[in-house]
């Protein structure tokens, strides 16, 4: 479980996050949604400590992460898996070496065990036999999938995904969503996903937080999101679904 209390963050006097508090549940896929530029990435980076919040605190399983020393943070972070919005693969390493990196750095597995684990993760993201390609030789979506494989290789306790399926075709996007939900349940992880893909929300949004104007505007489940009357939320949700409705309308 991750708890966020009163997080505030400004850049050059401009408030990006304004007193955001919430709880991300263990064993569930927690979604942060909001328009582009609403502060989802900034919130996620404050949660993992890549950005220092101006105020507020973040707790991992009751421990205050914000107040921890560098070494304690390092220990908790070894239980993190994170997918960056731009994939952030190490470009001097091949796909296989990227995925294997954590295993090399933090485990005493044999080479054979490592290879099996890497192949298993690559298979789960449909990247089998791409082991020896370098990031510069991958398409945008393939990079993202390789980065997902790297994020899940250690069975992290906490998984953070910044736009896991932007830039992917709808079929792969659904596959990635399912994969994240499956491993979240399988390993009882606390998973936080940033997205503005309403299909993901409706597929895996067990808990959804809507960020608007730097505030937590709304919080609920995917079932509640369609019923709610909140106008900003409706604008966000139905902007995308309007196209579908139009399509239906044309079909009639």
Partner 1 sequence: MNLLQHIGRYTLLVMKVFDRPEKHRMYYKRLLRELGVLGINSIGIVAIISFFMGAVITIQTAYNTENPLYPAYLIGLAARDSILLEFSSTIVALILAGKVGSNIASEIGTMKVTEQIDALEIMGVNSAGYIILPKIVALIIFAPFLSILSMLIGIFGGWIAGVSVGVVTTADYVYGIQYAFIPYYITYSLIKSVIFAFIITSVSSYHGYYTSGGALEVGRSSTLAVVHSSVVILLFNLILTQLLLS
The site for ligand ATP (CB under 6 A) is made up of: 11, 16, 34, 36-42, 85, 196
Between 39 and 81, name the residue whose CB sits nearer to Mg ion: 39
Contact at 8 Å (CB) between 139 and 167? no
Residues 31-70 interacting with Mg ion (rule: CB under 5 A): 41
Smallest gap from Cβ 119 to ligand ATP, in A, equals 32
Among 6, 21, 67, 106, binds partner 1 (CB under 8 A): 106
Piece of 80-88, 190-198, 218-226, 239-247 that binds partner 1 (CB under 8 A)? 80-88
How many residues touch partner 1 under the rule CB under 8 A: the total is 22
Question: Could you please report the per-residue DSSP string of 26-80?
Answer: TTSEEEEE--TTSSHHHHHHHHHTSS--SEEEEEETTEESTT--HHHHHHHHTTE
Q: Which does 187 bind (CB under 5 to 8 A by kind): Mg ion, ligand ATP, partner 1, none?
A: none
Smallest gap from Cβ 196 to Mg ion, in A, equals 9
Contact at 8 Å (CB) between 91 and 135? yes
Smallest gap from Cβ 64 to partner 1, in A, equals 18
Smallest gap from Cβ 162 to Mg ion, in A, equals 6
Does 72 sit near partner 1 (CB under 8 A)?
no
Q: Taking Cα atoms as reference points, which of 231, 213, 192 lies closest to residue 18?
A: 213
**Mask for 147-186, x = binds partner 1 (CB under 8 A):** -------------x--------------------------
Instruction: List Cβ neighbours of 35 (8 Å cut-off, separation of 6 or more).
Output: 196, 212, 236
- Give CA 8 to chain center in angstroms: 20
Between 121 and 148, name the residue whose CB sits nearer to ligand ATP: 148
Q: Which does 36 bind (CB under 5 to 8 A by kind): Mg ion, ligand ATP, partner 1, none?
A: ligand ATP
Contact at 8 Å (CB) between 27 and 207? no
Helices and strands, counts by H and E, the chain: 9, 10
Instruction: Please state, in angstroms and rounded to a whole number, the distance separating the CA atoms of residues 119 and 80.
Output: 20
Q: Which residue has the tokens 């019923």?
A: 227
């Amino acid at each position: 479980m991750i708890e966020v209390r009163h997080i505030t963050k400004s850049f050059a006097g401009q408030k990006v996050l304004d007193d955001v508090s919430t709880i991300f549940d263990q064993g569930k896929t927690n979604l942060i949604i909001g328009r582009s530029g609403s502060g989802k990435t900034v919130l996620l980076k404050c949660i993992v400590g890549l950005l220092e919040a101006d105020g507020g605190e973040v707790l991992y399983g009751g421990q205050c992460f914000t107040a921890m020393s560098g070494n304690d943070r390092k220990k908790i972070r070894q239980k993190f898996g994170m997918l960056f919005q731009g994939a952030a693969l190490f470009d001097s390493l091949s796909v296989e070496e990227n995925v294997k990196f954590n295993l090399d750095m933090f485990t005493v597995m044999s080479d054979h065990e490592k290879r099996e684990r890497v192949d298993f993760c690559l298979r789960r993201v449909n990247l089998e036999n791409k082991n020896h390609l370098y990031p510069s030789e991958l398409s945008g979506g393939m990079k993202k999938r390789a980065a997902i494989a790297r994020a899940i290789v250690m069975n992290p306790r906490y998984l953070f995904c910044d736009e896991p399926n932007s830039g992917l075709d709808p079929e792969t996007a659904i596959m990635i969503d399912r994969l994240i939900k499956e491993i979240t349940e399988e390993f009882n992880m606390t998973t936080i996903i940033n997205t503005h893909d309403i299909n993901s929300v409706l597929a895996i949004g067990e808990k959804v937080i809507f960020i608007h104007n730097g505030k937590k505007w709304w919080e609920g489940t995917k079932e509640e999101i369609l019923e709610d009357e909140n106008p900003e939320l409706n604008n966000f949700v139905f902007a995308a679904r309007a196209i579908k409705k139009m399509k239906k309308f044309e079909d009639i």
